[in-house]
Amino acid sequence: MIRRSMSSALALLLLVILPASAQQPPPQIDVSRLGPQVGTRVPDFTLVDQHGQTRSLASLMGPRGLMLVFNRSADW
Query: What are 21-75's pLDDT values in tens digits?
Result: 556 788 888 877 777 777 888 888 898 988 999 999 999 889 988 887 777 777 6
Does pTM top 0.85 for this prediction?
A: no
Q: Give Cβ neighbours of residue 58 (< 8 Å, ≥ 6 apart).
A: 44
Which stretch of DSSP H or E encloses residue 6? helix 2-21
> What is the model's pLDDT at position 20?
53
- Inform me whether the pLDDT recorded for 18 exceeds 90: no
> What is the model's pLDDT at position 75?
67
Three-state secondary structure of 9-38: HHHHHHHHHHHHHCCCCCCCCCHHHCCCCC
